[in-house]
């Protein structure tokens, strides 16, 4: 009987070690809540850092920052060793979850939710092995995670997002946008500034409401690219992938210099393009020409589709 119990316990531990659950693993049992609230200016700067826990930030109509969260670990001692450091002034609030120097961080972490003024600017928001979600703030300068998705909605200034092995979703962004991940899908909708999106082994889908004056760059590998321009391009477009398709939707009044190339597939266009044409290569002008439209893939179809125009 004793041997059976030992084997059973070891088997259970092996089973648990194979589970990956965002925001605290299944072995963690000890939690402690925390809560802070500070009066601030409407354009307060926010910096937030955690580990193994999600961060959510939402704008509201108060000149106040409210933070609610929980830290968690496998033992009470390890939980209590996690420090929540907050530095605040009316102009800035910085919160950091600090892991103990003598502890491995795989079975502990901290997550928190923040309500901030809608005019707030997010300086640096980082975590690991968990998600970041931002809604309705003035600016999100730098958001970074690893192995966690990032979702951003209604940001009224620039946006810079980096993660790995997870998806990025950005909607209703006014300003320049940079989105970079690996092994994760990128979805960008209602973008009114420039866009640079890069991933691997997954797709990129983007829709721009305005046409920025700076170049657009969409790069992936082994994933499709689908770009929709609501207005005629006012800058160069570069889309590049491998082993998948590229589709670019342009308004009926669009012009540009097309250079599209694929291998082992074909290219089609709803526009009349004068220039060099064969099965895997198309080089020429839409209308009077203008900004470059560079489309490159291998083993994937390229399509230039006509929209409704402006």
Give percent above pLDDT 70 in the chain. 89
pLDDT of residue 67: 98
Q: d(Cα 235, Cα 266) in Å, to the nearest integer?
A: 25
Give a yes or no: residue 94 inside a domain. Answer: no
Give a yes or no: residue 299 inside a domain. Answer: yes
* Token pair 């009316």 in the structure block, residue: 90
- For 83-100, what is the mean pLDDT? 96
Q: Is the pLDDT of residue 14 over 70?
A: no
Domain count, the chain: 1
pLDDT tens-place string over residues 181-221: 999 999 999 999 899 999 999 999 999 998 888 899 999 99
Q: d(Cα 190, Cα 175) in Å, to the nearest integer?
A: 11
Give a yes or no: residue 257 inside a domain. Answer: yes
Give a yes or no: residue 16 inside a domain. Answer: no
pLDDT of residue 213: 85
pLDDT of residue 27: 47
pTM here?
0.88
- For 255-276, what is the mean pLDDT? 92
Give a yes or no: residue 271 inside a domain. Answer: yes
Q: Is the pLDDT of residue 102 over 80?
A: no
Q: Residue 7 — φ and ψ, nearest 5°?
A: -60, -40
Give a yes or no: residue 284 inside a domain. Answer: yes
pLDDT tens-place string over residues 104-157: 656 899 999 999 999 999 999 999 999 999 999 999 889 999 999 999 999 988
Give a yes or no: residue 50 inside a domain. Answer: no
Residue 302: domain span: 167-310
Name beta bridge partners: 238: 217, 294
Give the residue, 81 or 279, on which the prediction is more confident. Answer: 81
Q: Is 26 helix (H, G, I), strand (E, B) or coil?
A: coil
Give a yes or no: residue 228 inside a domain. Answer: yes
Beta strands in 80-203 (DSSP E): 83-88, 92-98, 108-117, 121-126, 132-137, 139-144, 150-155, 159-162, 168-173, 177-180, 186-191, 195-198
Q: Mean pLDDT over all residues of the chain?
A: 89
């Amino acid at each position: 009987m004793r041997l059976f119990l030992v084997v059973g316990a070891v088997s259970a531990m092996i089973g648990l070690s194979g589970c990956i659950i965002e925001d605290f693993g299944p072995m963690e049992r000890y939690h402690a809540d925390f809560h802070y609230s500070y009066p601030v200016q409407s354009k307060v700067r926010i910096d937030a850092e955690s580990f193994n826990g999600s961060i959510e930030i939402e704008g509201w109509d108060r000149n106040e920052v409210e933070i609610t969260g929980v830290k968690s670990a496998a033992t009470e001692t390890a939980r209590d060793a996690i420090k929540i450091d907050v530095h605040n002034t009316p102009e800035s609030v910085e919160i950091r979850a600090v892991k103990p120097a003598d502890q491995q961080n795989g079975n502990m972490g901290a997550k928190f939710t923040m309500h901030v003024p809608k005019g707030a600017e997010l300086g640096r928001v980082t975590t690991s092995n968990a998600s970041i979600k931002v809604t309705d703030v003035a600016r999100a300068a730098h958001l970074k995670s690893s192995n966690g998705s990032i979702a951003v909605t209604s940001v009224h200034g620039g946006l810079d997002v980096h993660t790995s092995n997870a998806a990025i979703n950005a909607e209703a962004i006014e300003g320049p946008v940079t989105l970079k991940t690996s092994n994760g899908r990128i979805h960008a909708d209602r973008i009114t500034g420039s866009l640079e999106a890069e991933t691997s082994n997954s797709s990129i889908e983007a829709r721009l409401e305005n046409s920025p004056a700076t170049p657009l760059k969409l790069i992936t590998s082994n994933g499709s690219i689908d770009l929709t321009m609501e207005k005629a391009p006012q800058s160069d477009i570069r889309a590049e992938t491998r082993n998948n398709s590229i589709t670019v939707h342009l308004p009926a009044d669009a012009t540009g210099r097309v250079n599209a190339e694929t291998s082992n597939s074909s290219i089609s266009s709803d526009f009349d393009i004068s220039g060099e044409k064969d099965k895997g290569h198309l080089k020429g002008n839409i209308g009077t020409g203008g900004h470059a439209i560079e489309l490159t893939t291998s083993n994937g179809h390229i399509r230039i589709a006509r929209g409704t125009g402006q």
